[in-house]
Structures are given as structure tokens and as C-alpha cells.
Amino acid sequence: MEEPDADEPDFPFHAPSSASRYQPGHVSYLGYSAVYEGIKFLNRVGVENFLAHSLRLVARIRDRIDSAKYELVSPRTDRSPIITCRTPDARRLNPALREVRADLSVSSNRVRISPAIYNNEEDVDRLLEILNAG
């Protein structure tokens, strides 16, 4: 992605010369700025690093989750940053997860974990404490 010209504002606006300039509505500058900053972040970090980071966190979960309490449903060969575990009465975990603001997909007997770029090892360790204690 090309960086914008320093002499141009980040989001230049040029009204159309036709009558369409009078149509109702507006330009979503907030939407544009969010997408613009998101793309800058993607380019700075590198898309390939997003997956690699998430896969490291998934491996940490696989290695440290209590296998007596959780059956790993996701295959080890899967290169997805998502891990699914089966456990009886998974919803029992909801109060503790809410307390630490861990946003997981929890059903009656499954927990789906999908660590992302904004998570780190400390987040995973805190989550594992809850899961392994529950």
C-alpha cells in the first residue's frame, strides 16, 4: 500500500461536479479512518506474522491444557488459529471467563478458543488457569 502524499490530507474529499453532489448521505470518515489505520497496522506487523503469532498461542494452549478435563477436538495438523475442546458442562466456565473478560465461544459441552494478534502469552496463561481449575 502506498503512503499518502504529505501535502494531501489523509482523506481528501472532492465533491462531484454533477448533480449527484446533492444526493442525501455523507462520506463515512470514521469508517475510512478505521480501515486506513487497520491497513497500516496490517502492513506494519505483516499479515504472515498474524497467523504465526496465533499459532504459537494455540500451541501453548495445546501443550498446557489439562487433558483429563478437556478433549481436544481440533486436529493437531490443522493450521488454524482456532482450537476447540470438549468438556462436560462447559457453561460452568462462563462466570470466571466473564470476570477476566475472556471472550470465548462456549456451548453446553465445548469451548472454542481463537487467540489473535492482540493476545499474548500472559493472556493464554490466565485463560489456562481458569480452564484447568474449572
Give the SS3 label for residue 37.
helix
What is the topology classification, in CATH, of domain 47-133? Aspartate Aminotransferase, domain 1 (3.90.1150)
Cα-flanking dihedrals φ and ψ of residue 20, to 5°? -60, -15
Residues 13, 1: Cα–Cα separation, whole Å: 20
Per-residue pLDDT of the chain (134 residues; tens, 9 = 90+): 556 566 666 666 777 888 887 877 777 889 989 999 999 999 999 988 999 999 999 999 999 999 999 999 988 876 789 999 999 999 999 999 999 888 899 999 999 999 999 999 999 999 999 999 87
pTM: 0.73
How do the domains of the chain map onto residue ranges?
47-133
